Amino acid sequence: MTAEIHTDLSDGILTITLARPDKKNALTNEMYGVLADTIEAAQLDPSIRIVLLQGDGDSFTAGNDVGEFAAIAAGKGPAKRHVHRFLHALANATKPVVAAVNGKAVGVGTTMLLHCDYIVLAEDAQLITPFVNLALVPEAASSYLLPLRIGHARAFEMFALGEPLDAKNAVAWGIANKVCANDQLRAEAQRMASRIAEKPAGSLNAMKKLMRDAQRLVAQMASESAQFEERLGSAEAREAFSAFAEKRKPDFTRLDRK
Ligand code: COA
């Protein structure tokens, strides 16, 4: 268990907290590994009825660690990458997943929400999918799930422009269930998780399984992953990652389309 992921099991609710607030809970390979292990184990543990995801500090998560993207692009990534195991665990989970989202949910921070079942947003929540800004493509089956959820026009806009979607619109568009005051977020998410946890678990799990085609989602992830890997090695992506590290705006105008 890494110090950057905390877990707590109480009354059948496994709360998983992203705890790297100084880096806006940006997810490292190690953190993905722990998340994957935890969600996989939760499926098999009869004392766990529901999983709740939340983030410490002022952001849910800033998404994948951009430094790690840059290392992969430079051929210096980790020998074993855990992100896919994490995404597959989420796609295959039949126990309900609740999310409590405050501040920014960037990249996978937003796309993982498409695999959650009940989402509470704080008033300051912002959902951001800047894959194209980073010269990448959407992942976590979001290229399928987001248009399905909110329609092509809105999904295209979110992906292509990478601009924040605020909490009110995220609920209006059907991505999340409700908005609450920032200081009520955790209590409200726990309250909803408790209400769901009281329901018959077997029925809930069977219902969730019927509502999601996990095989379809995993197949979409494989298609996305092939494109994603290719994009990671592109000159455009290298420019985007260097710009992030140098805290400047990227300049894609001098690059060809590769
Ligand atoms: N990967 C690695 N480090 C990250 C990070 C990420 N995804 N997001 C934030 N950080 C780090 C910053 O580099 C900074 O580190 P430093 O204090 O050592 O300089 C620290 O977290 C705080 O971030 P900062 O940018 O100063 O906070 P902010 O409130 O001004 O902005 C964000 C917050 C999330 C909008 C901004 O950090 C951001 O755009 N991050 C990148 C998001 C992204 O593109 N993720 C990948 C999606 S596919």
Q: Domain range for residue 156?
A: 5-183+203-207
Report the predicted TM-score, pTM, of the whole model to 2 decimal places: 0.96
Sheet containing strand 126-128, edge to edge, reads 104-106, 126-128, 165-166
SS3 4: coil
Contact present, 123 and 167 (Cβ < 8 Å)? yes
Question: Consecutive sets of 10 residues in the chain, 258 residues long: mean pLDDT of each?
Answer: 91 98 98 98 98 98 95 91 97 98 98 98 98 96 98 98 98 98 98 98 97 97 96 93 95 76
In a domain, 167, yes or no: yes
Q: Does residue 222 fall inside a structural domain?
A: no
Q: Is residue 197 part of a domain?
A: no
Looking at residue 68, which CATH number applies to its domain?
3.90.226.10
pLDDT at 2: 80
pLDDT of residue 255: 81
Give domain status of residue 213, yes or no.
Answer: no
- Ligand 1, atom 21, residue with closest C-alpha: 23
For ligand 1, mutation pick of 4, 20, 24, 231 (most atoms within 8 Å of CB): 24
Spell out which residues line ligand 1, taking CB within 6 angstroms. Answer: 23-24, 26, 59, 62-67, 104, 106-107, 130-131, 134
Ligand 1 centroid to Cα of residue 135, in Å, is: 17
- Asked if residue 63 is part of any domain, the answer here is yes
Q: How far is the CA of 65 from the centre of ligand 1 (A)?
A: 8
Q: What per-residue confidence (pLDDT) applies to 12?
A: 97
Structural domains counted in the chain: 1
HEC readout, 47-103: CCCEEEEEECCCCCECCECHHHHHHHHCCCCCCCCCHHHHHHHHHHCCCCEEEEECC
Q: Cα(247) to centroid of ligand 1, in Å?
A: 10
Residue 221 placed within a domain: no
Q: 52 has which bridge partners? A: 15, 98
| 82 within domain boundaries | yes
pLDDT at 256: 65
Give me the phi and psi of 94, to 5 degrees please: -105, -15
Q: What share of the chain is helix, strand, coil (3-state, %, to 5)?
A: 50, 15, 35
Q: Sheet harboring 5-10: ordered strands across? A: 5-10, 13-18, 50-55, 97-101, 118-122, 178-180
Q: pLDDT at position 258, please?
A: 54
d(CA 67, CA 47): 37
Return the half-sphere exposure (C-beta side, CA atoms, 13 A cut-off) of residue 55: 30
Instruction: Give the list of residues 6+ apart from residue 162 with CB closer than 8 angstroms, or none.
Output: 128, 129, 130, 131, 132, 133
Residue 86 falls inside a structural domain = yes
Distance CA 53, CA 82 (A): 18
Answer whether 93's CB lies under 8 Å from 38's CB.
Answer: no
Sign (positive or negative) of CA dihedral 137, 164, 18, 143: negative
What token pair was written down for 83? Answer: 């992100």
| Shortest-distance Cα residue to atom 40 of ligand 1 | 62
- Ligand 1 nearest atom to the CA of residue 104, by list position: 34
